Amino acid sequence: MEKEVFDGLVMKSTGSWYEVRSSSGDHIRCTVRGKLRLKGVKSTNPIAVGDRVSYALEDEIGVITAVHDRKNYIIRKSSNLSRESHILAANLDQAFLVVTPEFPKTPLEFIDRFLVTSEAYRIPTSIILNKIDLFDGELKELADYYRSIYEHAGYEVIETSAKKNIGIDYIKEKIKNKITVFSGNSGVGKSTLINCIDSNVKLKTGSISLYHLKGKHTTTFYEMVEVAFGGFIIDTPGIKGFGLVDINQNDLSHYFPDIFKFANGCKFDNCTHVHEPGCSVIKAAEKGYIGETRYNSYLSILADSEEKYRNPF
């Protein structure tokens, strides 16, 4: 007799077993047997947090039989030397990048690099300007400066104070029934914020060591947590952006929507918008239509990718 197959959502992955949430909310420990064929992805882990899977039950244990098509995923190279990649999470509805203009200062270029990766992965991203309670008086200008840069670039900027309970209801509304990744530098208040959203949520990330021929190397697995009012949160402590995306120099401007919208006026199709004559991006930057800091980050990331191109190892 054919075994009954259920649909579930992967909440946790350790690389060897998975925690899958059933449609009724139970958590089932699952394994994978044999090889799961996945289209187009060469990765060390076939299943990641956020994956929707089919599984069959054998006694109390689930066996994952299929991974459903992903709408997106974030991936990291297993190591610098490796061609294999590790999928960190899949099917993300949105990312919240938590930043503070001071205490501690989140560098603008860090924000821009994060946004490049989230654009590349097609994950809608909002910027959360946290600790807004600290930015009154003279410091208000600084918060306004951050806000205006990213609103002008087309991103939603949400001001919050985890301490004074500002903006929290709005965040809750946005999280409801979605998979949301929280990211941001250490100390910006991610944990405090998440604790305000749902005080029962205790986020963890597990580090599991994998031994490769080239020596020890640590891989981080993400874990998803369900919030009481519906929805799932993934916390990504300390990571820089979503990790590596290989971006072709000609494609970089695609990931700056505020820059890319001017690119179709450029004289040359392969314009890098750095020095070319007849470049409408340069013109737009000079006229202030493109934010100065955004354009500078574009140049800086482009220079990095040129460097990598010349010295791939």
Ligand X SMILES: Nc1nc2c(ncn2[C@@H]2O[C@H](COP(=O)(O)OP(=O)(O)OP(=O)(O)O)[C@@H](O)[C@H]2O)c(=O)[nH]1
131 is in an annotated binding site: yes
Task: Kindly identify the residues of this chain, within the stretch 230-269, that bind ligand X according to CB under 6 A.
Answer: 237-238
181/10 Cα distance (integer angstroms): 15
> Which of the choices ligand X, Zn ion, none does residue 253 contact, using the CB cut-off of 5 to 8 A by kind?
none
136 is in an annotated binding site: no
188 is in an annotated binding site: yes
Q: Tell me whether strands 5-13 and 52-58 are parallel, antiparallel or unpaired.
A: antiparallel
In the list 21, 27, 52, 163, the residue contacting ligand X (rule: CB under 6 A) is: 163
DSSP bridge pairs for 206: 221
DSSP 297: H
> Which of the choices Zn ion, ligand X, none does residue 20 contact, using the CB cut-off of 5 to 8 A by kind?
none
- Indicate whether 224 belongs to the interface with Zn ion (CB under 5 A): no
In the list 67, 197, 225, 281, the residue contacting Zn ion (rule: CB under 5 A) is: 281
Question: What DSSP line would sit under 95-159, residue for residue?
Answer: EEEEE-SSSSPPPHHHHHHHHHHHHHTT--EEEEE--GGG--GGGHHHHHHHHHHHHHTT-EEEE
Nearer to ligand X, 50 or 189 (CB): 189
> Which of the choices Zn ion, ligand X, none does residue 192 contact, using the CB cut-off of 5 to 8 A by kind?
ligand X
Is 127 exposed, middle or buried (CB count within 10 Å of its CB: 0-12, 13-18, 19+)? buried
30 is in an annotated binding site: no
- Indicate whether 86 belongs to the interface with ligand X (CB under 6 A): no
DSSP bridge pairs for 95: 125, 181
Minimum CB separation of residue 196 from ligand X in Å reads 8
Which residues participate in the annotated binding site? 130-133, 184-192, 266, 271, 273, 279
- Which chain residues interact with Zn ion by CB under 5 A? 266, 271, 273, 279, 281
